[in-house]
Amino acid sequence: MRKIIVLIPTYNEAQNIQPIIERTFSVDPSLSILVIDDNSPDSTANIVRSMQPNFPNLDLLVRYQQRGFAKSYLAGFHKVISDNKFDTVITMDADFSHDPQEIPHLIKLLDSGADVSLGSRHTTRATFPGISLWRQLLSRFAQRYVQTILGLHIQDCTTGYLAIPINVLRAIGLNQFRSDGYGFLFELKFKLTQQGFKLREHPVKWPKRHQGKSKMTNKIILDSVLLPWKIKFS
C-alpha cells in the first residue's frame, strides 16, 4: 500500500482551498495533503489551519521568502523527503483545474510500471470545459514549442498534475533547477527524461479555475519563451 501525499501550492486561493481539500480527502481518506502557501494576503493559510483539527493528515508549509511557484514546489519536495513518511508525491493545483478523482488513475499507472505519471490535457480523449479558445491555443502552442526544443516525447509538457515516487525525486537533483515560475513544470519533465525515467500519460479534463484569480501574466508567458533554450543548453 503506497503512502501518498498530495502537494498543493497556493497563492490567494482562499475561495478554493477548503473545497479542494475536502474533495481530495473524499476521493481517498488515506491520502495526506501538504499545502505550500506563499503567505497569501487573503489568509489561505488560516483556512488550512482551521481545518487541521478535523483532518489529521493535513499539513501546511508557509513560506515567508520571495514568492514563487517553483520555489514552493521545491520547498515541498525537500520537506517530504526529509519527513521520510511517504513514498509517492502528487502535485496538484488548488483551483480544481486538476480533478482529485484522477489521483487513483495516476497511481495505477505507477503500479503498472511507469516511473512517473502525468495527467495530460492534450491527448485525444481530453476535454477543456470552460477554457477560453485563447488559453487552449496558448497551451497547445506552448506544448509544441517546449516539446520541439527539449525533445520531449510527451503530449503535455506543461501539465502540473503529476505522480512522482520519492526515490525518483531524490534522484533528479532538486538544487539544480533554473526556472522560477511555471517553467519549472517542463524543466522537471526534462530532468526526469534525461535521467531515463519512463513518463506515462493519463488523459484528464482541463476545467477552468472554480474561483479566484489566475496568477498567469503576460510577463510569465514572455519569460517562458527563453527558458526552454536556457534549460537545453545549461
Ligand X SMILES: Nc1nc2c(ncn2[C@@H]2O[C@H](COP(=O)(O)OP(=O)(O)OP(=O)(O)O)[C@@H](O)[C@H]2O)c(=O)[nH]1
DSSP string, 68-125: -HHHHHHHHHHHHHHHT--SEEEE--SSSSS-GGGHHHHHHHHHTT-SEEEEESSSTT
The least CB distance from residue 204 to ligand X, in Å, is 13
Orientation of helix 17-27 relative to helix 44-51, angle to 10°: 40
Binder to Mg ion among 37, 59, 95, 102 (CB under 5 A)? Answer: 95
45-53, 115-123, 185-193, 207-215 -> range binding ligand X (CB under 6 A): 207-215
Q: Is 95 in the site for ligand X (CB under 6 A)?
A: yes
Strand, coil or helix: 52:
coil
Task: State the binding string over 141-180 for Mg ion (x if CB under 5 A, else -).
Answer: ----------------------------------------
Left, alpha or beta for 103 (phi > 0: left; psi -120 to 50: alpha)?
A: alpha
* Interaction residues for ligand X, span 22-51 (CB under 6 A): 36-38
Question: How many of the other CB atoms lie within 10 Å of CB of 130?
Answer: 11
Residue closer to ligand X, measured from CB, 25 or 69: 69
x-marked contacts with Mg ion along 207-226 as a string, rule CB under 5 A: --x-----------------
Per 3-state DSSP, what percentage of the chain is helix, strand, and coil (rounded to 5)? 40, 15, 45
For residue 227, the one-letter residue type is L
Q: How far is the CB of 183 from Mg ion (least distance, A)?
A: 16
Q: Judged by CB, which is closer to ligand X: 99, or 115?
A: 99
Residue type present at position 159: T
Residues of this chain that interact with Mg ion (CB under 5 A) are 93, 95, 97, 209
The footprint of ligand X (CB under 6 A) covers 9-11, 13, 36-38, 67-69, 72, 93-95, 97, 209, 214-216
